[in-house]
Amino acid sequence: MNINFELYRVFYTVAKLGNITRAAEELMISQPAISKSIKNLEDQLGGQLFVRTKRGVNLTDEGIQFYGYIKQAMDYIYNAEHKFTDLMNLETGTIKIGISTTLTRQFLLPYLKEFHRKYPKIDIQLMTNTADELLNKLKNGLVDILIVNLPLLNEKDVEVIKCKEVHDCFAVNDLYMDLLNKEINLADLNNYPLILQAKGSITRGFLDNFLKENDITFRPNMELASYTLVSEFTKIGLGIGYITKEYVEQELRNKSLYILNVKPAIPCRHVGLVLSKSHLPSFSAKKLIEIIKADIDN
C-alpha cells in the first residue's frame, strides 16, 4: 500500500480537532479538499474512519485504533523536525574531533574556546589515537573532523585543508652548547643520542621520507610514542630531539631548548583539517570549521 503522506496529515488533523472546518483553517486548504482527502484515504484503506455528526465528525472504532498509530507517527515526525531545527541552530548536538593531545594544546584550544562561547550547548568529544586509526574512524563517519600534522600518506576519499604552517627541527639543551652556531650535516647526528617519535606517527613518517630522499639513515637511541616525551627528554639532556619549533616557543624563549642548524634543511609542513568526502560534517562541525578557516584567511 503506497498512500500519500498528505492524506495521513489531513486525517490526523481532522481527528485531533474533530471538526472539518477547523482542520481546513489549520491546514489552510478548503473544506471540500479535506472531505475529498478523507474519502480518498478511506477508499485506499478499505474502511470508514469518521462518522459525521451535527457538531463535527467522530472517529469510528476502527478510526480510533488507526488514529493511535498515526498520532504516534506524526509525533515522531514533528519531534524529528524540531530536533533537526535545534541541530541547525546549534541548540543541541555533538561534535567529534580526532586529534592528538599535542595538537589539542598547541592548535585547537583557542578555537574550542571561541566555539564553546558561541555554542555552549554543543557537546565536544575528543578522540585520540594513531593517525591511521583516526582516519578510518573519519571515513566510517565515527569522527566529524580530523586534525593532524600533514602530510597524510593516504589522502584517498578525504579532503585536506591546510591550516597553520609548522617547522620541524632538531633541538638540544645546554649540555650540547658546543653544537650551537655550527652547520651540522644531518647524517652526523648519528654520532649523538637521537630521540625520535616512534614509527607509525605522521611526524616520524615525514622525517623518514625526508631522510630517504637524502640517502640518510638514522639510528635513534630512543623512539617514543608521545611527542611530549620527546620534548621532555630533550629538555633534560638525554639526547638530540626531533621536535616542532612552534610547539616549544616558550622553551626556546627561556633557553631550556636550543635549535640546531642542520643541512639539508627540513622543509616546512602544516597542521591540517581532514574531512571525509563520503560523510557530510554535522552542523556543529561546520561551524567549528568556519571558525578555524576564518582565522586562517585573516
Strands 94-99 and 123-127: parallel
Instruction: Give me the pLDDT at residue 282, please.
Output: 79
What stretch of H or E contains 134? Answer: helix 131-139
Residue 107 and residue 147 in contact, taking contact as beta carbons nearer than 8 Å: yes
Rounded CA-CA distance 112/115 in Å is 5
Q: Identify the structural domains of the chain with CATH numbers, from first to last.
A: 5-88 (1.10.10.10), 94-165+271-297 (3.40.190.10), 168-267 (3.40.190.10)
Distance CA 212, CA 227 (A): 22
Distances (CA, A) of 100 to 23, 117, 121, 193: 57, 23, 24, 26
Reading the block at residue 191, the C-alpha cell is 654520532
Q: Which residues of the chain have pLDDT under 70?
A: 1, 83, 86-89, 154
Q: What is the pLDDT of residues 130-176, one digit of tens each?
A: 788 888 888 888 889 999 999 887 677 899 999 999 999 999 999 99
221 within 8 A of 234, measured Cβ to Cβ: no
User: Which string of DSSP letters, residue by residue, matches 97-109?
Assistant: EEE-HHHIIIIIH
CB 168 within 8 A of CB 201: no
pTM of the entire predicted model: 0.69
Task: Note whether 112 and 238 are within 8 A (CB).
Answer: no
Residue-level pLDDT at 279: 80
Cα 228 from Cα 247, distance rounded (Å)? 10
Q: What is the pLDDT of residue 86?
A: 64
- The pLDDT, as a whole number, for residue 52 is 87
With H, G, I as helix, E, B as strand and everything else as coil, classify residue 175: helix
Please provide the distance, in angstroms rounded to a whole number, between the alpha carbons at the two ends of the chain: 57
- The values of phi and psi at residue 190, to 5°, are -65, -15
Copy the grid coordinates of residue 263: 643541512
Backbone phi, psi, residue 53, to 5°: -130, 175
Which of 155, 122, 124, 158 shows the shortest CA–CA distance to 140? 158
Angle (CA) 16-21-24 rounded to 5° is 75
User: Crossing angle for the helix pair 61-88 and 5-17, nearest 10 degrees?
Assistant: 110
Question: Is-cis flag, bond preceding 120, omega within 30?
Answer: no
Residues facing 242 on adjacent strands: 170
Residues in CB range of 287: below 8 A, 6 or more apart: 90, 115, 118, 119
At 115 the pLDDT is 93
pLDDT of residue 89: 66
Distance CA(214)–CA(275), nearest Å, equals 32
Question: What is the maximum span of the chain, computed from C-alpha positions, in angstroms?
Answer: 104
